[in-house]
């Protein structure tokens, strides 16, 4: 008990001296805690060398323990007040960090759009960043490679076998969007606000609703929102292959003009950007 009291008092005193020596001005809390520890040391049984017996010994030890606890609490609060300062600033930083971590994708989009507005030349093909190479080619390939590594083969198999879900998604892509969204929107603007948007922009909106899902953003948005990445990957492949035939038919229906798409080239591009990276990821996952 005596050795433990000596070690405790010495450790607290050395810690207090170390902390206070690192500060340019000693606060009142540090002075109070130092005096308190010195006072406890002065009243401890080892410092007075006076023997205690029975209840007097227990009473003195209880007094020493309670005073040591009070001093240590005073010292801890002093360190917090001096070094931590106002906790409101640290709380704001923690809240901001938590918000960014929770909404990293939305924050990243805002930052990317802002940078594109300020420095548009960086996003051009052939610029110093080479977006057509590192984003358009390697970036998309990396996304599907990581998807293949993270997804189980059973998840992909079940996603392709879910005909009801896949049929509903394709019906929404090539049915609901062009006929229930694109066509009413463009016709309504032409009828009630003909000068709101130019004709070329209205045609572009209608054409956009006839297109299949995007290859990369479909996976990224699904993953960021915690959705079924396997189903998103499956329907990306289905819609992009089906779009080779359905999109020209829709454009012929709406504009009366037919277009020809390079079937072999589009399928080859889809395989190189989507199917091959996913297959490599699945192979690496199996090994």
**Per-residue DSSP letters for 1-45?**
-HHHHHHHHHHHHHHHHHHHHTSSS--HHHHHHHHHHHHHHHHSH
What rounded mean pLDDT belongs to the chain?
Answer: 75
235-281 residue pLDDT tens: 999 999 999 899 999 999 999 887 777 888 888 888 888 889 999 99
Instruction: Enter the pTM of the model.
Output: 0.59
Other beta carbons within 10 Å of 281: 18
Sign of CA dihedral 190, 192, 198, 203: negative
Q: What is the mean pLDDT of residues 71-86?
A: 48
Query: What is the reported pLDDT for 36?
Result: 45
Percent of the chain predicted with pLDDT > 90: 31
Q: How far apart are CA 172 and CA 246, in angstroms?
A: 13
């Amino acid at each position: 008990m005596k050795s433990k009291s000596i070690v405790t008092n010495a450790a607290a005193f050395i810690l207090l001296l170390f902390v206070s020596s690192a500060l340019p001005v000693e606060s009142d809390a540090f002075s109070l805690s130092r005096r308190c520890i010195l006072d406890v040391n002065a009243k401890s049984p080892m410092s007075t060398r006076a023997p205690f017996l029975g209840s007097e010994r227990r009473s003195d030890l209880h007094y020493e323990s309670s005073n040591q606890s009070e001093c240590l609490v005073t010292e801890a609060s002093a360190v917090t007040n001096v070094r931590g300062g106002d906790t409101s600033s640290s709380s704001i930083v923690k809240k901001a960090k938590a918000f960014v971590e929770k909404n990293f994708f939305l924050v990243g989009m805002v930052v990317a759009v802002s940078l594109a507005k300020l420095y548009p030349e960086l996003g051009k093909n052939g610029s110093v960043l080479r977006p057509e190479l590192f984003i358009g080619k390697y970036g998309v390939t990396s996304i599907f490679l990581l998807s293949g590594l993270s997804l189980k083969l059973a998840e992909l198999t079940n996603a392709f076998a879910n005909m009801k879900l896949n049929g509903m998604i394709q019906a929404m892509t090539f049915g609901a969007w062009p006929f229930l969204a694109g066509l009413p929107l463009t016709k309504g603007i032409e009828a009630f606000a003909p000068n709101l948007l130019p004709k070329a922009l209205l045609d572009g909106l209608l054409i956009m609703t006839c297109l299949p899902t995007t290859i990369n953003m479909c996976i990224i948005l699904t993953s960021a929102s915690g959705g079924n990445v396997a189903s998103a990957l499956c329907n990306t492949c289905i819609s992009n292959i089906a779009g080779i035939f359905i999109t020209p038919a829709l454009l012929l229906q709406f504009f009366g003009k037919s277009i020809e798409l390079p079937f072999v080239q589009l399928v080859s591009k889809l395989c190189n950007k989507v199917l091959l990276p996913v297959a490599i990821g699945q192979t690496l996952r199996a090994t």
